[in-house]
Amino acid sequence: MNSSSFPYQFIAIEGNIGAGKTTLCQMIARDFGGRLVLERFADNPFLPYFYENPERYAFPVELFFMTERHRQLQEELSQQSLFESFVVSDYFFLKTLLFAKNNLRNEEYRLFQRLFHILNATFPKPDLLVYLHRPVPTLLHNIQKRGREFEKDISSAYLHQIQQTYFDFFKTTEEMPVLILEIDQIDFQTSTDDYQRIIAHFCQPHPNGIQHIIV
């Protein structure tokens, strides 16, 4: 199987914190020769302070994420080479607005929303959006296992809020295919069969709207 098997030029893989989206993107880019775009979350200087004091640091953390994501996607999507037939990213730009809605106060969110729509006006949407879904206890286990200091205080309540924000958005979108993949019973990192079961869904054309799939 090669990248020509994918009927999509721009694939975004999303998921809650600890779902495995970055790992899956890296594997797909490695195996199928796609251009890899990874979010540079560690560059956000406000992130450690946000997890300690969300109310105080929510606006600067989200503003930094928005401007960095915009700059990176503009740069990466305009530089695709002839040797890379598709782009795979571990986020899509609208994620910016979803997290901001979850984290900001009403007046902050209204201002943020205005800025977002200005930046988002000319951005291409993914041809395929994939959401990796795992239960919150699994996410917490994965977060603890990878041991990032600034993530150690993430609560199950916060993860539930993020998950609900994504699902609320998916119910309203009809502009692109959205695959919600239930992957709690598989290990695509170590099992070739599990990995190929996921990849099979990337090789099929999908209609716009939501499809809920147990892998």
**Positions marked active-site:** 90
Residues facing residue 131 across a β-bridge: 14, 180
Residues 6+ apart with CB under 8 A from 152: 144
The strand ranges marked E within 54-113 are 87-89
Interatomic CA distance for residues 37 and 176, integer angstroms: 19
The one-letter amino acid at 2: N
Report CA 126 to chain centroid distance, whole Å.
Answer: 11
- Phi/psi of residue 156, each to 5°? -65, -35
Token digits of residue 131: 């959401």
CA atoms within 13 A on the CB side of 143: 20
Residue with tokens 């200091």: 149
| Strand-by-strand arrangement of the 209-214 sheet | 35-37, 87-89, 10-15, 128-133, 177-182, 209-214
